[in-house]
């Protein structure tokens, strides 16, 4: 079944929502947040999948994403774009249930409402996971966006984009890992929101 982009982890203000969940030995958030934001990715093709231009089969450009609903007191944003089905890829050599980070962004100014062009001044990016248990294009490891690259014939992978509104300014350097970022923001999250989309390799 094709999954189209929809906001997930949606909840009314005042309800407690657990942001993190365990999987694959990665660090996961322990904090609960009291509200969520609406996150939208305008990156689907006519079939509802992640457009190939944002993957290794295309130009591999970072996707456009927008968000709203950040609460007063937000001092910065952090974003994580990750594949939650990577362990199903036959080319993956990591743990079952692992998540695979394709794009890590943080130190976004508090007035930021989306990404889709030049990064706002002061924004930093972390290192992606192409050095962790992947025999598929491991040379793509770097401090940049590197899109999904599942093996041909593999079932569709679910890609999740999470935006965090933080009550703290950034204190990390460029090039941090997903786990290091989540450890830093744990306990500092005012609001969070997610959007999800699928991608399946075409073999082209």
d(CA 13, CA 103): 28
Give the span between the Cα atoms of 135 and 96, in whole angstroms. Answer: 16
Contacts of 72 (CB under 8 A, 6+ apart): none
Alpha carbon distance 54, 159 (integer Å): 12
Residues 48, 35: Cα–Cα separation, whole Å: 28
Strand ranges, E, within the chain? 6-8, 17-18, 32-33, 38-41, 65-68, 76-83, 100-108, 114-115, 124-125, 157-166, 189-199
Buried-state track 115-127, b at ≥16 Cβ within 10 A, e below 16: beeeeeeebbbbb
Q: Tell me the domain boundaries of the chain.
A: 6-199
pLDDT truncated to tens, each residue of the chain (204 aa)? 222 333 333 332 333 444 444 444 578 888 886 668 999 987 677 677 888 888 888 888 898 999 999 999 999 999 999 988 776 665 665 566 678 899 999 999 999 999 988 899 999 999 988 765 444 444 555 888 888 877 777 778 888 999 999 999 999 999 999 999 999 999 999 999 998 888 877 765
Q: H/E element holding 180?
A: helix 178-185
Residue 101: phi, psi to the nearest 5?
A: -80, 125
CATH architecture of the region 6-199 = Alpha-Beta Complex (3.90)
User: What pLDDT, on the 0 to 100 scale, is given for residue 153?
Assistant: 73
Indicate whether this model's pTM tops 0.75.
Answer: yes
Tell which residue, 55, 180, 43, 157, has the closest CA to residue 98.
157
């Amino acid at each position: 079944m094709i999954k189209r982009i929809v906001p997930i982890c949606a909840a009314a203000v005042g309800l407690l929502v657990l942001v993190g969940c365990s999987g694959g030995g990665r660090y996961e958030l322990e904090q609960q947040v009291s509200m969520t934001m609406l996150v939208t990715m305008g990156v689907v093709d006519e079939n509802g999948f992640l457009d190939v231009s944002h993957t290794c089969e295309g130009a591999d450009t970072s996707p456009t994403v927008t968000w709203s609903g950040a609460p007063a007191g937000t001092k910065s944003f952090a974003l994580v774009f990750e594949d939650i089905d990577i362990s199903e890829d036959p080319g993956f050599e990591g743990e079952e249930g692992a998540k695979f980070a394709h794009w890590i962004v943080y130190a976004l100014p508090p007035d930021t409402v989306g990404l889709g062009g030049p990064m706002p001044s002061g924004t930093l990016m972390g290192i992606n996971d192409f050095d962790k248990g992947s025999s598929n294009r491991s040379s793509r490891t770097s401090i940049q966006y590197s899109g999904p690259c599942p093996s041909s014939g593999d079932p569709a992978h679910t890609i999740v984009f999470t935006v965090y509104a933080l009550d703290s300014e950034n204190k990390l350097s460029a090039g941090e890992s997903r786990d290091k970022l989540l450890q830093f923001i744990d306990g500092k999250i005012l609001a969070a929101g997610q959007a999800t989309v699928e991608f399946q390799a075409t073999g082209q």
